[in-house]
Amino acid sequence: MKPDPPLAEPVSATLKRFAEGFDQRFSKVLKTVKDTPESLAEAMCYSALAPGKRLRPFLVAECCRLVGGAPEAAFPAATAIECVHAFSLVHDDLPAMDDADLRRSRATSHVKFGEALAILAGDALVTLAFELLAAPVMGSNGGEADDSRRAVALVSELAQAGGWQGMIGGQVADVQGETQPIDRQLVEYIHRCKTARLLEAACRMGVLSGDGGSEQLERLGHYGLHLGMAFQIVDDLLDATASVEQTGKSVGKDAVAGKQTYPACVGIEESRLAARRAVDAAVEALETFGIEAQTLRALAVYVVERAGCGFPP
Amino acid sequence: MKPDPPLAEPVSATLKRFAEGFDQRFSKVLKTVKDTPESLAEAMCYSALAPGKRLRPFLVAECCRLVGGAPEAAFPAATAIECVHAFSLVHDDLPAMDDADLRRSRATSHVKFGEALAILAGDALVTLAFELLAAPVMGSNGGEADDSRRAVALVSELAQAGGWQGMIGGQVADVQGETQPIDRQLVEYIHRCKTARLLEAACRMGVLSGDGGSEQLERLGHYGLHLGMAFQIVDDLLDATASVEQTGKSVGKDAVAGKQTYPACVGIEESRLAARRAVDAAVEALETFGIEAQTLRALAVYVVERAGCGFPP
């Protein structure tokens, strides 16, 4: 395949622009709600609209576009998956879990709002995710059959990737892995379930939102899964090698906690190679999409090169 | 309206029989899962299959039957709402919330499995609820249009009743109400959102599962809402007046915690009257269903008379 021509802007700029537009719209959705305790709405917004890359919504939007869907069509799935992501961060940070005080350079939810409200804000965000997926159909008076089919497929995708056989299963293995000997299979299970499956789901939900076909579903799903593996290995590496200023969160905690990570398992250099291999696999899955997938390819490279982690080219 | 003829068996026996059959089937669903940490599956089963009345699944099944649906049709919604109920109990019992050690005469989830796993088992149960609602459609190769419409309506119903404007909103108000002066409007908001809306949703989901019409949806929804108010007032009364042996959980904690309850607000006698009025309103909503609604009427009476709380006839 020919190398891509230069992008009109760095992918980081594209992401930033997307995130701003997305947050503006998402914040309107979150702030129009009535009949809920103010403190709950505030805690939900604090986490759902926290500074962040909005990588998952971006993947939904970009995969929807790639299969010919309208930008509008991606919005419900993009908001839903960001809710699930935000929920997972809030609960992962809790004292009983990772006990983190800092997230994206700000106090974590339980530090700011107390533990009870943080747990409940997480609970409300995951429930809201499914409300958001059903809303377009319910809003249209029962909905067209295609709208309903699409919504159910999105619910199924998100519930599976975010559930006991996906993200939650991965988080359980992660927490329990702290007291187990480092094991490569376990590390891979944790990274796949806890992180990669949600990125896979983001891509698949984008394809579903844009009414793409089953081959597109599979290919872009693979892209997301490998991207997710790369992403999580880089996260491990950042914790092992970067500073608080670079990451905006507490670092060096994985080793102290005895976490199952790539660096703990195979060392820093082999982790960098593993991240690179995952990126290559992600890029390969995009082959049939040609030049249109240029941004997703650049995104995969950006993910491993962020924060100057010194990756092999 | 004529008084109902005697039931073939007491409603408590009907509930018990239903619960046994339901648990048997539900346990098969829960235990066929692969690719999830064993400890997570165990903690989920511990809570989802804990001894209990299975009131919400029963309401789903009975309302489905009332509108002419097949028993089979109610099962996905019945399991889904029980997952949401079990999730809410696990999180409500956490140290940061009600800090309860005992639930249905057994150790609560965090006492048995530790706090991290309890939080995650709750998270997994709420996610599983939505997976279960989508599963029948996804299992049938994309599904018939009617199946999809029904599934989306069920997702919407459950997400709203269980979410920030429903159960979670009520739980937030409940936790925060401990430090506020007792206020009747607040008590009613908490009881409606935290308890009654999920019973309302159970009834409405039963109607949706059986493809009932909008009038049936509204009437049986009203029944569930009033039943839920009665149910929660009785719960308040049991905490204020009953023993651990009678209830199978810690008692007398509401007053100590400064909870917003009916007894704290209007006293024991007026609370009993309020429960009775709620039951009357529930029964009234059933009027058009005639003799077929006999079991639901008996259930409403059973709810206020359980555990010998001394209700006015």
Cβ–Cβ < 8 Å for B19, B48: no
What are the φ/ψ torsions at residue B99 (nearest 5 degrees)?
A: 50, 55
The model's pLDDT over A57-66, given as tens digits with 9 standing for 90+, comes to: 999 999 999 9
More confident residue, A134 or B6: A134
Mean per-residue pLDDT for A23-27? 97
Residue to mutate among B172, B186, B188, with most A CBs inside 10 A, is B172
Domain assignment present for A5:
no
Of A44, A134, A160, the CB nearest to B131: A160
The model's pLDDT over B26-40, given as tens digits with 9 standing for 90+, comes to: 999 998 777 899 999
Domain assignment present for B268:
yes
Query: Chain B residues with CB inside 8 Å of A126's CB?
Result: 123, 126-127
Mean per-residue pLDDT for A245-262? 78
Query: What tokens were used for A299?
Result: 């995104």
Domain assignment present for B6:
no
Of A127, A133, A164, the CB nearest to B40: A164
Residue B113 corresponds to which amino acid? Answer: F
Task: Give the three-state DSSP class for A106.
Answer: strand
Domain assignment present for A109:
yes
Mean per-residue pLDDT for B180-207? 96
Q: Do B175 and A120 touch (CB under 8 A)?
A: yes
Q: Do A35 and B163 touch (CB under 8 A)?
A: no
Q: Do B162 and A91 touch (CB under 8 A)?
A: no
**Choice among A211-220, A302-311, B24-33, B274-283 with the minimum mean pLDDT:** A302-311
Buried b (16+ CB within 10 A) or exposed e, B51-87: ebbbbbbbbbbbbbbbbebeeebbbbbbbbbbbbbbb
d(CA A168, CA B312): 47
Residue to mutate among A119, A140, A174, A176, with most B CBs inside 10 A, is A119
Query: Chain B residues with CB inside 8 Å of A156's CB?
Result: 131, 134-135, 137-138
Q: Do A155 and B155 touch (CB under 8 A)?
A: yes
Short-list A221, A225, A223, A201, CA closest to A213:
A221
Q: How many CB atoms lie within 10 A of CB B245?
A: 8
Res B258: pLDDT: 86
Short-list B132, B92, B155, B40, CA closest to A129:
B155
Q: CA of A300 to nearest chain B CA: how many angstroms apart?
A: 27
The domain of B95 spans 11-306
Mean per-residue pLDDT for A17-26? 97
d(CA B79, CA A197): 25
Cβ–Cβ < 8 Å for B42, B124: no
Cβ–Cβ < 8 Å for B77, B157: no
DSSP string, B254-302: HHHHT---HHHHHHHHHHHHHHHHHHHHHHHTTGGGGGGGHHHHHHHHH
| Model confidence at A49: pLDDT above 70 | yes
Mean per-residue pLDDT for A215-220? 98
Q: Which residues contact B75 (CB under 8 A, 6 or more apart)?
A: B25
Residue to mutate among A44, A123, A133, with most B CBs inside 10 A, is A123
Number of domains in chain B: 1
Res B219: pLDDT: 98
DSSP string, A238-275: HHHH--HHHHSS--SHHHHHT---HHHHHHHHHHHHHH
Query: Chain A residues with CB inside 8 Å of B33's CB?
Result: 164-165
Chain B residue with the nearest C-alpha to that of A114: B96
Percent of chain B with pLDDT over 90: 78
List helix spans (H) across chain A.
Answer: 11-31, 38-48, 55-66, 71-92, 109-113, 115-139, 145-162, 167-177, 184-191, 197-209, 214-241, 244-247, 253-257, 262-284, 294-305
Cβ–Cβ < 8 Å for A151, A129: no
CA distances from A100 to A77, A135, A251, B37 (A): 28, 34, 10, 24
Short-list A257, A210, A260, CA closest to A232:
A260
Q: How confident is the model at residue A143 (pLDDT cuts 50, 70, 90)?
A: low
- Compute chain A's Rg from CA coordinates: 19
Query: Chain A residues with CB inside 8 Å of B124's CB?
Result: 163-164, 168-169
Q: Do A165 and B135 touch (CB under 8 A)?
A: no
d(CA A244, CA A102): 9
DSSP B195: I
Of A33, A35, A152, the CB nearest to B138: A152
Query: Chain A residues with CB inside 8 Å of B153's CB?
Result: 134, 138, 142
DSSP B8: S
Residue to mutate among B117, B152, B185, B259, with most A CBs inside 10 A, is B152
d(CA B182, CA B190): 12
More confident residue, A246 or A197: A197
Torsion of CA A84, B42, B58, A150, to 10 degrees: 30
Size of interface A-B (CB pairs under 8 A): 185
Of B44, B153, B176, the CB nearest to A164: B44
Of A127, A143, A153, the CB nearest to B168: A127
Provide the sign of the torsion angle of the four alpha carbons A206, A208, A212, A213, taken in this order: positive
Q: Do B41 and A164 touch (CB under 8 A)?
A: yes
Query: Chain A residues with CB inside 8 Å of B115's CB?
Result: 96
CATH of the domain at B285: 1.10.600.10
Q: How confident is the model at residue A307 (pLDDT cuts 50, 70, 90)?
A: low
Q: How confident is the model at residue A309 (pLDDT cuts 50, 70, 90)?
A: low
More confident residue, A245 or A303: A303
Q: What is the mean pLDDT of chain A?
A: 92
Domain assignment present for A3:
no
More confident residue, A77 or B142: A77
Q: How confident is the model at residue B3 (pLDDT cuts 50, 70, 90)?
A: confident
Residue to mutate among B46, B98, B117, B123, with most A CBs inside 10 A, is B123
Buried b (16+ CB within 10 A) or exposed e, B98-113: bebebbeebebbbbeb
| Model confidence at A230: pLDDT above 90 | yes
Query: Chain A residues with CB inside 8 Å of B201's CB?
Result: none
Cβ–Cβ < 8 Å for A203, A223: yes
Domain assignment present for B1:
no
* Beta bridge partner(s), residue B106: B103
Cβ–Cβ < 8 Å for A119, B101: no
Domain assignment present for B148:
yes
Query: Chain A residues with CB inside 8 Å of B156's CB?
Result: 131, 134-135, 137-138
Q: Do A155 and B162 touch (CB under 8 A)?
A: no
Mean per-residue pLDDT for B111-120? 98
The model's pLDDT over B210-252, given as tens digits with 9 standing for 90+, comes to: 999 999 999 999 999 999 999 999 999 988 887 666 666 667 7
Q: Structure pTM?
A: 0.95
Half-sphere exposure at residue A251, Cβ-oriented, CA atoms within 13 angstroms: 17
Domain assignment present for B4:
no
Q: How confident is the model at residue B307 (pLDDT cuts 50, 70, 90)?
A: low
Mean per-residue pLDDT for A20-30? 96
CA distances from A5 to A9, A286, A287, A295, B143 (A): 12, 16, 15, 11, 43
Of A115, A130, A156, the CB nearest to B159: A130
What are the φ/ψ torsions at residue B30 (nearest 5 degrees)?
A: -70, -30
Of B114, B134, B159, the CB nearest to A152: B134
Q: Which residues contact B261 (CB under 8 A, 6 or more apart)?
A: B187, B236, B239, B240, B254, B255
d(CA B151, CA B156): 9
DSSP B152: H
d(CA B29, CA A240): 41
Q: CA of A65 to nearest chain B CA: how many angstroms apart?
A: 22
Beta strands in chain B (DSSP E): 102-103, 106-107
